[in-house]
Structure 1
Amino acid sequence: MTDEAGKPPLGRRYEINGKRLALYRDGEGGPAVVFLPGAGLVGLEFLNLRERAAELTTSVLYDRGGTGWSDATELPRSAEAVAVELRELLRAAEIPAPYVLAGHSLGAFYARRYAQLFPGDVAGLLLLDPGHEDIYDYLPAEAAALNEQMSADVPEVTAEQLEQSRVALAELYAAWPDSVLGPLIENRLALWRTGLDETANFESELYGELRAGGALPDVPLIVYTAMGRNPYWAQFVSGDLERRLHEGLHSMHAALAASVPRGVHRTLDDASHQYLHVGHTDELATAIGELVGNSRRRGSGAGIDNLGE
């Protein structure tokens, strides 16, 4: 990869431990809001929320190692490795703590691990349809077998499937500027297996790592559950089982929110898991504003208001 070929459409790359990591920042002030994408997604897919957050404070998009416009890295990785890497990147970019960490799906695992390791760096957490190490305690009995079925070897995609994905992504991100949209789509299609590779260590490493990591710090936390139909699940399950899966995830997320004193659980009834952030910009931007505002009130000595339901 040449420097020009690897140049991100926005932002720049920083060298961390011999690897170049892409980061884009905007806005000013603190606490900075840092977005941690889900598996298979990249930072620029959260451009809509980055723009809204930048109206309030410093807003940061980045690609962790092995994804997007950051250098290739062997996948999967431990959550600790990802968290340490992010901390070093934020320091290199001179973005001071504390941070509001906004983690989606797999990114929520990494946000929680960061909070376990570096609690003093964290001002708040926004977890978007997060996974959880005890997920099977909440899901129907069929879920484990279903997971094995969905995790079976995935064949190479065909040219027709890639073109279908190109059209779908262009429609999904139609509001993104052309200078970002084209490179974003081509990057996603070229690295389509990244999401599979990143999640390959859930049972073997990630779940145990989060369980052993300890409790979350006492910071404001908002957890969202996407309750809309999941197109991927629909290929494998009946409507009734999908309903019960959603009910289990709802209970799991409610328990996660209740694990800290200022945790709040909310739902997005018409949102699907993978892209819940795209169609709900206003609501999620409001949640970010609540977390930033709580941190600032705490810093000013004016006390911390409980987040409302």
Structure 2
Amino acid sequence: MIRQHRASAALALVCAVAGAGLVGCEEARTADSKPSASATAAGGADGAAENTSFTGTKKIEVEGRSVNVSCSGDPVENRPVIVLLHGGGDGLDTMADLQETLGAQHRTCSYDRLGAGASDQPDGPQTLEDGGKVLTEVLDQVAGDAPVVLAGHSLGGLIAARYAPDHQDKVEGLVLMDATSPTQSADLQEEIPESATGTAVDLREQTLAVLRGESPEKLVVPDGEVRSAGNIPVEVIQHGKQYLAAVPEYGQDLELAWSEGQRKWLAISSDSELSTAENSGHYIHVDEPDVAVAAIQRVVSKAAG
């Protein structure tokens, strides 16, 4: 059983009104969050073979930048490697318990994107294509020739879903945990008018700023159509505790728009399913870890076929 982090709907709302609740929230980290493995591997370019079998945390070099990665569990023949992607403002520490649990049966890794956690800062604004190049190098070094299942939370879910269609030779399954909507900017501007005041306008403006790249990651995230990744197994999980409903005046409409955003992600595959984590706020893998684990294991089993 994964250790509970005591993240609550109230905390998720604090994240939302601070402007990050729709892409992730640094405030959701807890004091006892830790890297997913007890040992830390030495950094440096040790070669692909060593990288695909190490456990613990280590730094790898990606195009001259240092990227912090963490892996648990041993490679399993004919099974994809699970790679976890954290939300905006977070780091791989928020995935630590999920990774530890999955690592008991599967090779499972996570990484800090540039500008997050212990990875280097980006030199300037990053596009999704830039982030995809980093992800490709991470996958090459931690998974080698093995296929992968990507499981992303919030902004990490959006990144995984944007990446998969262009890498169908590598990505054999997706789990999107309350992923940021593919049309998040338009959703916010439609549901919260410019005439809004107070909490609602703060949520809109600060979240839009993050999507424009005004965050430590400097990642620019434009709206876009959902592209197909073929018929890979995909599970989309949305939150059940309607924390956005607490936003004065516009909360219910925000919840409806969020649910619609989750349904849009179903178009990524002909084998996709949507479910609701009834007792979860935005951080499904923290509030209901068993739900997240079960979904990832189902996708891994389907992908292994």
TM-score, normalised to structure 2's length?
0.70
Which position in structure 1 is the counterpart of 2:257? 248
Q: CA deviation at 1:216?
A: 2.6
Q: Does 1:222 align with 2:275?
A: no
Within 2, Cα distance between the matches of 1:214 and 1:153? 27
Q: Deviations over 1:30-69 (max 9, x none)?
A: 3011011110111121112112211221100111111111
Which position in structure 2 is the counterpart of 1:176? none
Within 2, Cα distance between the matches of 1:99 and 1:41? 22
**1:229-240 matched pairs, under 5 angstroms:** 229-230=242-243, 234=246, 237-238=247-248
1:293 to 277, 283, 301: 301
Q: Is the 8 A contact 1:34 1:102 kept in 2?
A: yes
**1:63-78 matched pairs, under 5 angstroms:** 63-74=112-123, 76-78=125-127
Within 1, Cα distance between the matches of 2:206 and 2:263? 33
Q: CA deviation at 1:289?
A: 0.8
Which position in structure 1 is the counterpart of 2:32? none
Within 2, Cα distance between the matches of 1:46 and 1:246? 25
Q: CA deviation at 1:230?
A: 2.8
Q: Does 1:122 align with 2:171?
A: yes
Indicate the structure with greater helix content.
1
Q: Is the 8 A contact 2:80 2:147 kept in 1?
A: yes
Q: CA deviation at 1:152?
A: 4.3
Which position in structure 1 is the counterpart of 2:106? 57
1:150 to 203, 228, 234: 203
Within 1, Cα distance between the matches of 2:219 and 2:62? 24
Q: Does 1:269 align with 2:282?
A: no
State the superposition RMSD in angstroms: 3.1
Q: Is the 8 A contact 1:66 1:75 kept in 2?
A: no
Q: Does 1:12 align with 2:58?
A: yes
Within 2, Cα distance between the matches of 1:107 and 1:79? 11
Question: How many equivalent residue pairs?
Answer: 242
User: Unpaired runs of 5+ in structure 1?
Assistant: 155-193, 298-309
Q: Secondary structure at the match of 2:250?
A: helix
Note closer, same or farther for the CA distance 1:32–1:94 as it changes in structure 2 (3 Å cut): closer
TM-score, normalised to structure 1's length?
0.69
Instruction: Name the amino acid aligned to 2:61.
Output: E
- Structure 1 residues 260-269 or 93-102, which shifts more? 93-102
Q: CA deviation at 1:201?
A: 2.8
Instruction: Name the amino acid aligned to 1:38.
Output: G
User: Unpaired runs of 5+ in structure 2?
Assistant: 1-39, 44-55, 208-212
1:34 to 83, 92, 99: 83
Q: Is the 8 A contact 1:124 1:221 kept in 2?
A: yes
Q: Does 1:201 align with 2:247?
A: no
Which position in structure 1 is the counterpart of 2:269? 260
